[in-house]
Amino acid sequence: MKVTYRLLVFALSLFVAIPDLLAWGQKGHDVTCEIAERHLDRGARKAVKRLLEGKSMVYWGNWLDNASHTDEYAYTKTWHYKNIEAGVKYEDAQLEPQGDVVTAINRQVMTLKDKMTSTESKRLALKMLIHLVGDLHQPMHMGRKADLGGNLWMVMYFGKEKKLHGIWDTDILEGGHKWSYEEWATEIDCINRKQRKEICRGTVDDWAQETYTIASEVYNCTPQQSKLSYDYQARWIPVIEQQLLKGGVRLAYLLNEIF
């Protein structure tokens, strides 16, 4: 009995020590994918449906978070983020040897554009791209390397000690609106064609640098052990809405360009 208890405690301690890799949690990825699907043109919609074998992008939105923990896809663990040391400019950031979210997105786009690539490889690339574009727009996935993108940056959120990364994944989003992912998409996706075109300007690196700027602002206004509640939530919910919208619109833009 004592051995079993000790094993349980040990297992739990390992679980707590594992850094969060999620971006936006399930709801955020669902919103991003739902918005993207609403902006696909006819050709892209047909190609995506064929590659995903009839399932929606929402269905696959969070797949890579789970897959990255398996032996088969362990090589993708560093693809969810691009952590940069404090004070380092985006363009001067040290590259992750195994790849980061920016290089991973560009790699999937190249695979999907390559006419010589097999259908199976394109199917995998699409599943990954769907998730990674969402990750790119979660500020803590462009967070500091020293604290693992906010995983070691502890704050008090409504009286409970939590990781800064974690509250950006889910807590602020869920605290802002108790909507389904369809309701989220409908409420925030209300821009015109000119605004969509502006959102899609630049490269994946430009989009990442934009998120990195937001991450720097988050750190500056959130010292460790900060006591956060309604004021903090109200300040950042509009930014989360903006990032979810941009993620969805840009994902659709990439797919429309590819197909």
What amino acid occupies position 79? W
Helix (H) or strand (E) holding 163: strand 160-163
- Give the pLDDT mean for 197-223: 98
pLDDT confidence band for 14 (50 / 70 / 90): very low
- Say what the pLDDT of residue 25 is: 85
Q: What is the mean pLDDT of residues 224-235?
A: 97
pLDDT digits (tens, 9 = 90+) for 111-123: 999 999 999 999 9
Q: What is the pLDDT of residues 56-110, one digit of tens each?
A: 999 999 999 999 999 999 999 999 999 999 999 999 999 999 999 999 999 999 9
Give CA–CA dist 149/93, Å, rounded.
Answer: 14
Note whether 255 and 40 are within 8 A (CB): yes
In degrees, to the nearest 5, what angle opens at C-alpha 84 toward C-alphas 199 and 243? 25
The pLDDT tens digits of the residues spanning 23-68 come to 678 899 999 999 999 999 999 999 999 999 999 999 999 999 999 9
Distances (CA, A) of 205 to 45, 74, 137: 25, 24, 12
**pLDDT grade for 20, boundaries at 50, 70 and 90:** low
CA–CA distance, 153 with 149 (Å, rounded to integer): 8
Q: Which two three-digit tokens encode residue 230?
A: 């309604």
What DSSP assignment string belongs to 22-88? -SSHHHHHHHHHHHHHHT--HHHHHHHHHHTTT--HHHHTTHHHHHTTSSTTGGGGGGG---B-TT-
pLDDT for the residue 24: 76
